[in-house]
Structure 1
């Protein structure tokens, strides 16, 4: 029996590995019977919201940021207070066409400055680190009608915490191994056809492999967006997705590093829009980070761990062309602990409101399911098109 169990485990891993050779890393999908697509992009490392959505009209911004300050005439002006980083050119065009909005001075309930703890709070929906073991995105999947047999797919070596929970999740890691020949795949299929369990695993892996097309290994941002769109636009494809991005921790040399990070994010979003086609009209992409960065520049051309940051909503279903902010100001008396942008809106409020609007769920029930025991922190206007 032990030998047979080991054989089954080996085959499961082999089947997943064969399918994984065509996947980009760090993407997760979940099927749902709806035309709406909800994509969560996490910015791991504490993205600098102040130099992403720039409060150029705040008199304290330039003096706090010194050499890191981005001049308004080099950025895209969004309104009389905020401008968008010049690396987000495609996202700026989405804003102009009413398909992107930005939410500033936003943060989770977490008030310390540990990446691990901050990401734990962001992904679990707890009010403190390690309070919960499941993720809010997994709980959202469970709220959707007809989701008893839904399955999420993690295109990563491990499933991120936001998608962990009682919902079914399979994990795939990218591979640089050579493509298996069709003859080999046929022989393996024939080998396991008599075994009901193993045959089902193999067929599921091959089905996912076929949906991925010719994608292989690690992808650049545009290819990653194209691959994600390929899954999301299929009639039988997933309706909930998560994409992880890293490298947002900019303690030194921030201007060049942040510009590169935002350019990659911009390319990812542009590719999603291009390759989703008409499905883009039913898509909402929410982009957020675990916490922001200090209001003032440090001594090494960067910024340190802070609190308040900026989040983005992008997609054809977004009621865009707006910046939503109860702006606290960057004057010394207005900063949190005399160093951070003070948050005036809870990130959990934004996420729950977006999810409820996206899938026509009850807002209060959505908030309490995704963020048990927490109340709304701040008020939001309608975020999506009806």
Structure 2
């Protein structure tokens, strides 16, 4: 029997988005010319970049975070003598050593002070510069990228999961598949769906893989499916598509909102992120060498821990980059410091650069878009500044 709805929809129909829920995730795709691949992972819930990439060389860190572990003495993995990577990302250490993993330590969107997950994620995915732009801009920056690429085929663009991916919303055609919390198809229902898909060359394979993803645990509870089984299935599905005609994929990983019990909350989320990246690498095989992965979050968290063993909504955060096309094994960008006078609003990590600039330079180097198109159409109002040269 069919225990919940299964439906296909266009990205013009905006579904519910639970901004920081640990279960929900989405995936979307688009075809693009050439061999370069781009994967954008939205980390919903505001990842604490100061815990993921720990600036243990800054003497103020231990004063601000007395119980949250930091640095190699507490199990973190030293990267360069100043930053250490959270121990739950140890599976990604070989990528760092191979030059296929990098990060930016102090970035954010232009979103400031209100610290709403929903608004922050909307601005990140819309790629706008102000709240006014956000209200007027209904499409996402990956969709606007598609609109700027002549000859691009986007008929395979779609999303899988419960939360809407605004990043791909817009006039460029895209579709999505969204199960509910449980997906259980009996033989009769499966035969019905197979008949529906059979004569549609676009969705025949897509529908089959979507059902396969559901069988792997998409939409099930963490207890039923395991802590990262759903993310591995999404990443495997993305890799399969990227090995075929797809060149741009985006999906989300939730569960980063760590107001309390941060070691447990963040640890689970990092396990899922590491599994997603490694599943992409394994699934892509030789195509990993032409792949760039950008993992982005809506904002960072406070530099000081709170009384509940966690951190609250902040401003500056971190961005992770991976892939065989990335110039990794290094920290990209500048460090603002944690002294009181260096903080934003006296409480948050000071952003040193607009996170959109790194995405824009990746798009320029991957797909050859002009700077004018990126600064005016894809990311309106952006000043890209100098090229950080994140690609090899």
TM-score normalised by L of structure 1: 0.85
- Do the aligned partners of 2:343 and 2:349 also contact (CA within 8 Å) in 1? yes
Aligned to 2:20: none
Aligned counterpart, 1:267: 275
**What residue in structure 1 maps to residue 173 of structure 2?**
168
Equivalent residues of 2:302, 2:349 under 8 A apart: yes
Size of the alignment, in residue pairs? 355
Whole-Å Cα distance in 2 between the matches of residues 293 and 327 of structure 1? Answer: 16
Deviation of 1:150 after TM superposition, in Å, equals 3.9
Match of 2:12 in 1: none
TM-superposed deviation, 1:92: 1.9
- Is residue 211–residue 230 contact of structure 1 (8 Å, CA) maintained in 2? no
In the alignment, is the contact (CA less than 8 A) between 1:158 and 1:171 conserved in 2?
no
Contact 1:211–1:231 (8 Å) recurs in 2: no
**Does 2:243 match 1:233?**
yes
Match of 2:118 in 1: 116
How many Å apart are 1:296 and its aligned residue?
Answer: 0.3
Structure 1 residues 179, 306: closer, same or farther in 2, change over 3 A?
same
* Greater Cα offset, 117-126 or 360-369: 360-369
Instruction: List per-residue Cα deviations over 1:173-224 (Å, max 9, x = no partner).
Output: 13612254699359946xxxxxxxx986x44322313456843341433233
Q: Which residue of 1 aligns with 2:346?
A: 338
Please give the alpha-carbon distance, in whole angstroms, between the structure 1 residues aligned to 2:118 and 2:311: 18
Q: 8 Å contact 1:30–1:240 — kept in the other structure?
A: yes
Give the superposition deviation at 1:315: 0.4
Larger Cα-atom Rg: 1
Aligned 8 A contact 1:28 1:153 in 2? yes
For residues 356 and 190 of structure 2, what CA distance do their matches in structure 1 show? 50
Task: Please report how far the alpha carbon of residue 325 of structure 1 lies from its aligned counterpart in structure 2 after TM superposition.
Answer: 2.8
Contact 1:157-1:171 at 8 Å conserved across structures = no
Distance 1:239 1:333, change over 3 A: same
Structure 2 match to 1:290: 298
**Paired residues of 2:47 and 2:299 also in contact (CA < 8 A):** yes
Q: Secondary structure at the match of 1:88?
A: helix
Report what 1:224 is aligned to: 234
CA deviation map 1:293-352 (0-9, x unaligned): 000001111000100011011001111111013111001111111100001111111111
Gaps of 5+ in 2: 10-23, 219-228
Question: SS at 1:68's partner residue?
Answer: coil
Q: CA deviation at 1:290?
A: 0.5
Structure 1 stretches lacking a partner, 5+ long: 1-12, 18-23, 190-197
> Relative to 1, partners in 2 of residues 1:280 and 1:213: Cα closer, same or farther, differing over 3 Å?
farther
Q: Distance in 2 between matches of 1:51 and 1:359?
A: 33
Larger CA deviation: 341-350 vs 143-152:
143-152
Kept in 1, the 8 Å contact 2:107–2:318? The answer is yes
- In the superposition, the TM-score normalised over structure 2's length comes to 0.84
Relative to 1, partners in 2 of residues 1:127 and 1:292: Cα closer, same or farther, differing over 3 Å?
Answer: same
Which of 298, 317, 320 is residue 328 of structure 2 equivalent to?
Answer: 320
Whole-angstrom distance in 1 between the partners of 2:190 and 2:52: 50
Structure 1 match to 2:13: none
Q: Structure 1, residues 39-76: CA drift from partner, whole Å, max 9, x if none?
A: 10011111000001110100101110110132323111
Q: How does 1:346-361 map to 2 (within 5 A)?
A: 346-361=354-369
Contact conserved, 1:15 with 1:205, CA < 8 A, in 2? Answer: no
- Which residue of the partner structure matches residue 99 of structure 2? 98
Equivalences for residues 180-219 of structure 1 within 5 A: 180=187, 184-185=191-192, 188=195, 202-210=200-208, 214-217=212-215, 218=218, 219=229
Q: Distance in 1 between matches of 2:89 and 2:198?
A: 46
Which residue in 1 is equivalent to 2:139?
Answer: 134
The CA deviation at 1:169 is 1.3
Distance in structure 1 (CA, Å) of the matches to 2:233 and 2:154? 30
SS in 1 for 2:59: coil
